[in-house]
């Protein structure tokens, strides 16, 4: 391997989108800092977190963007999507309305992106089995019909959080390398 190859850098922008209060900020804080906040307010200040993953001996960095609560006003700007190679589209399995809105978020990503964006549908709060309103199979079916990856997660108990982000990062790596 030449020196140039060894020093090759990978930095991918990934965006998290979906309705308000589905758990976007907590998925990111769980993944990047192993933190969960039961009373999280709309994100203030922090635009993104950077995480490193090793793939085939290479350091791959993901710059993961969180909305600052703009999704409440349907005012996520094109700057937010610009340059993204991956997206996590999150709904809350205990609130059907957030699943019904997945189609519009998907339209948003598709209309703002010109490259191959690795897209994953994420059914968050799978710890809330007792108040589930969206079945696992429904999520799978939608993902399959739209060509998305699919996973259910819990930012609360950590289920599949790392897997969700790392699947997207690996897919992006596969797309570009
Ligand atoms: P955002 O608006 O999409 O960024 O959502 P937040 O991350 O701010 O979370 C909204 C609310 O849902 C907060 O009260 C969180 O504590 C809660 N929450 C987030 N993820 C989970 C989860 O996986 N399980 C449960 N039970 N609650 C969650
Ligand atoms: Mg948030």
For the chain, give the mean pLDDT. 90
Of residues 150, 161, 79, 171, the one with CA closest to residue 125: 161
Is the CB of residue 158 less than 8 Å from the CB of residue 126? no
Q: pTM for this structure?
A: 0.93
Is the CB of residue 132 less than 8 Å from the CB of residue 99? no
CA dihedral 53, 54, 59, 64 (to 10 degrees): -10
* Ligand 1 nearest atom to the CA of residue 153, by list position: 23
The CB of 20 under 6 Å from ligand 1? The reply is yes
* Ligand 1 nearest atom to the CA of residue 154, by list position: 23
For a ligand 1 pocket test, name from 19, 25, 29, 40 the mutation site with the most ligand atoms within 8 angstroms of its C-beta.
Answer: 40
- Range 3-23 average pLDDT: 83
* pLDDT for residue 113 is more than 90: no
* pLDDT for residue 28 is more than 80: yes
> What is the whole-number distance in angstroms between the Cα of residue 128 and the centre of ligand 1?
11
CA pseudo-torsion sign 127, 30, 66, 103? negative
Q: Which of 35-39, 43-47, 91-95 has the lowest mean pLDDT?
A: 43-47
Q: Assign 27 a pLDDT band (cuts: 50, 70, 90).
A: very high
* pLDDT for residue 130 is more than 90: yes
Supply the pLDDT for residue 97: 98
pLDDT, greater one: 168 or 40: 168
Q: Assign 158 a pLDDT band (cuts: 50, 70, 90).
A: very high
- Tell me, what's the ipTM? 0.99
């Amino acid at each position: 391997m030449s020196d140039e190859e060894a020093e090759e850098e990978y930095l991918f922008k990934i965006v998290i989108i979906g309705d308000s209060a589905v758990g976007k900020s907590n998925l990111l804080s769980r993944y990047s800092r192993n933190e969960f906040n039961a009373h999280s307010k709309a994100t203030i200040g922090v635009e993104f977190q950077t995480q490193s993953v090793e793939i085939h001996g290479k350091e791959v960095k993901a710059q993961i963007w969180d909305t600052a609560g703009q999704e409440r006003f349907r005012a996520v700007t094109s700057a937010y999507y610009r340059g993204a190679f991956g997206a996590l589209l999150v709904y809350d399995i205990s609130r059907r309305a957030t699943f019904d809105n997945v189609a519009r978020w998907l339209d948003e990503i598709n209309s703002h992106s010109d490259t191959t964006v690795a897209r994953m549908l994420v059914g968050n709060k799978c710890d809330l089995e007792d108040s589930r309103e969206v079945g696992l199979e429904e999520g799978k079916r939608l993902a399959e019909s739209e060509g998305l990856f699919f996973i259910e997660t819990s930012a609360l108990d950590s289920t599949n959080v790392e897997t969700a982000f790392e699947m997207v990062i690996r897919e992006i790596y596969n797309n570009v390398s």
